[in-house]
């Protein structure tokens, strides 16, 4: 029976007081351990950035310590009447928390990301990865941590009344709470003003989610898109960037003999399956595939339009989508084309106000010009506008044109798995009719280039933004066709042939940068891809969406998410044993997903 009266009240009061001070000394301990994050991430380049690193360290870890106290130790004080048992619970909980923190610091040191359920699974079976084995060696420190926590517990229990009598608890609480509030207010300011030395620190500490208020500031009129973009451009021109993109400054070869082809046409079709390129569904594109370079094992960088286009222009995994679109960071390739005085012709049947255009791919292009195309047009209208533009160009100008053709009836893909066989057949026929019409638009485009005499001087790239699956979107089976798209490359001077090795959207930028724009830097400095003319066989290609990643290998498809769920199938859709999954492959993927972040 729980005691009542003054004795119970006094006992609970002492336990709560002990819990307060025990948490405080643990906050000091975890803050000291947290200095490892500062060491591995390196000090900021500015005094303000350095000050924020340490204030945020104190504010963040004091908040986490307070959460553990409020969620565990405080309620237990009313339930457990025995001081030794209560203190033992506190020691065990703090030992576990500190152990996880130490392991997380080691993971951050090696891979530059934090512990998550997926990595936790692999820590339980480290035989495949030596580095994971070395991380698990930190479990040896558990007895040491337990001993330290027991000493802290004993010291606080003996000195608790003395510490209370000093009346320093309230000033300490105010100081720690102020550090927490200052951390978030400062990040709001840094995010609004694009102060990179602070915004680059948002992922240093585990479970850190700094507060932002761009939407609120815009509603109040204190921040506008024009002001934000101006600040971002000013930061970019000074060489500051939210990402290390590129990792090192790129070098270019001095001007030499002009390449045989100097113009570029990038024609992208929404949700275009690779198997549609045949004599029945897209006869003209099939004809082109026989004349040009036909990459038959090609994948978009994502299973949806926004991130698929993102991979096309940035050659980066969709992991970087948020940083790019929030900060209007333009693609390296578009910057280089502008430096080389290319004339841009941009045409889209869905307009250009979407984040995949206005906030990323074409963020450095004049915004009012893009907003003129904000209204949705039909594929016919977009094609006709492109034709008028190409006919009006001076033959001495170098041209980069982008033409995006949509699937007019997006409902083709919605609710498909729940339809009857008759309705499925009807919807599939509708999709085939749509791609046949798109095939005619492609024919009009190529015919116009031929009539203008521009085809022999134009690199033509025809692909899909992403694939299309008629399976349930969340299923692993959908991955078979969600990212697989055609890639037809008409490259003057290159004979037509079929390439069967795995290629990806992230290979297109390196190809143009190396073969057309004269970069001498390795592709891995600005992309996750390799030139399409590089015949090196890759182990896998990466795709997926913002919720999960999909690894495509020659023999299997594996989907994984940060919550620890992993599913694998073969190319026939048969489920495979996840226990046979190669952990080293996943570690390699996770490392690449952080490669362009500031370390």
* pLDDT average, residue stretch 368-388: 80
More confident position, 377 or 379: 379
CB atoms within 10 A of CB 333: 25
Position 197 scores a pLDDT of: 84
Question: Two tokens at 244?
Answer: 């290390």
What predicted TM-score, i.e. pTM, was given to this entire model?
A: 0.79
More confident position, 32 or 472: 32
Cβ proximity of 350 and 382 under 8 Å: no
User: Phi then psi for 267, rounded to 5 degrees?
Assistant: -105, 115
| pLDDT bracket for residue 1 (50, 70, 90) | very low
Q: Residue 246, preceding bond cis, omega within 30 degrees?
A: yes
* pLDDT average, residue stretch 355-376: 74
CA neighbours within 13 Å on the CB side: how many for 280?
5
Helix axes 6-41, 142-165, angle to 10 degrees: 120
More confident position, 282 or 198: 282
Encode pLDDT of 456-481 as tens digits: 999 999 999 999 887 777 778 888 88
Cβ proximity of 524 and 447 under 8 Å: no
Position 134 scores a pLDDT of: 62
Position 186 scores a pLDDT of: 92
């Amino acid at each position: 029976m729980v005691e009542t009266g003054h004795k119970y009240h006094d006992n609970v009061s002492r336990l709560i007081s002990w819990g307060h001070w025990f948490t405080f000394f643990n906050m000091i301990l975890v803050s000291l351990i947290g200095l490892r994050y500062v060491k591995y991430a390196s000090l900021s380049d500015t005094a303000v950035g350095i000050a924020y690193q340490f204030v945020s360290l104190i504010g963040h870890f004091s908040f986490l310590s307070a959460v553990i106290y409020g969620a565990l130790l405080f309620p237990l004080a009313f339930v457990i009447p025995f001081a030794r048992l209560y203190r033992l619970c506190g020691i065990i909980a703090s030992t576990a928390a500190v152990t996880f923190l130490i392991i997380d610091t080691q993971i951050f040191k090696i891979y530059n990301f934090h512990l998550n359920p997926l990595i936790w699974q692999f820590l339980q079976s480290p035989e495949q990865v030596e580095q994971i084995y070395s991380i698990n060696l930190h479990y040896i420190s558990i007895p040491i941590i337990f001993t330290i926590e027991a000493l802290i517990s004993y010291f606080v229990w003996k000195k608790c009344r003395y510490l209370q009598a000093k009346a320093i608890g309230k000033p300490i609480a105010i100081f720690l709470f102020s550090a927490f509030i200052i951390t978030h207010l400062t990040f709001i300011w840094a995010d609004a003003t694009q102060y990179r030395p602070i915004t680059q620190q948002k992922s240093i500490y585990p479970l850190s989610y700094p507060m932002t208020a761009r939407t609120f500031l815009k509603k109040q009129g204190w921040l506008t898109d024009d002001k934000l973009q101006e600040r971002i451009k000013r930061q970019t021109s000074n060489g500051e960037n939210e990402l290390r993109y590129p990792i090192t400054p790129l070098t270019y070869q001095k001007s030499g003999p002009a390449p045989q082809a100097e113009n570029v046409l990038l024609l992208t079709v929404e949700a275009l399956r690779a198997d549609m390129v045949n004599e029945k569904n897209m006869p003209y594109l099939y004809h082109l595939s026989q004349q040009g370079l036909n990459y038959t094992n090609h994948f978009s960088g994502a299973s949806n339009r926004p991130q698929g286009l993102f991979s096309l222009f940035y050659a980066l995994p969709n992991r970087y989508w948020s940083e790019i679109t929030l900060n209007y960071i333009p693609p390296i390739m578009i910057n280089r084309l502008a430096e080389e005085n290319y004339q841009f012709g941009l045409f889209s049947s869905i307009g250009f106000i979407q984040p995949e255009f206005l906030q990323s791919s074409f963020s450095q292009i004049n915004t009012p010009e893009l907003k003129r195309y904000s209204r949705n047009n039909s594929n016919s209208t977009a094609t006709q506008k492109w034709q008028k533009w190409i006919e009006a160009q001076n033959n001495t100008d170098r041209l980069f044109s982008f033409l995006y053709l949509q699937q007019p009836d997006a409902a083709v893909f919605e609710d498909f798995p729940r339809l009857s066989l008759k309705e499925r057949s009807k919807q599939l026929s509708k999709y085939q009719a749509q791609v046949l019409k798109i095939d005619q638009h492609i024919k009009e485009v190529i015919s116009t280039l031929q009539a203008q005499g521009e085809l022999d001087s134009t690199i033509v790239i025809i692909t899909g933004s992403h694939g299309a699956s008629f399976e349930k979107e969340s299923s692993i089976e959908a991955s078979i066709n969600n990212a697989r798209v055609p890639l037809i490359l008409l490259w003057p001077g290159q004979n037509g042939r079929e390439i069967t090795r795995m290629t990806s959207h992230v290979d297109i930028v390196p190809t143009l940068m190396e073969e057309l724009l004269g970069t001498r830097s390795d592709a891995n400095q600005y992309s996750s891809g390799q030139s399409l003319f590089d015949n090196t066989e890759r182990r896998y290609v990466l795709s997926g969406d913002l919720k999960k990643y999909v690894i495509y290998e020659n023999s299997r498809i594996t989907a994984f998410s940060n919550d620890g769920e992993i599913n694998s199938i073969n190319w026939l859709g048969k489920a495979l044993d996840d226990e046979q999954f190669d952990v080293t492959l996943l570690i390699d993927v996770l490392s690449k997903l952080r490669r362009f972040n500031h370390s």
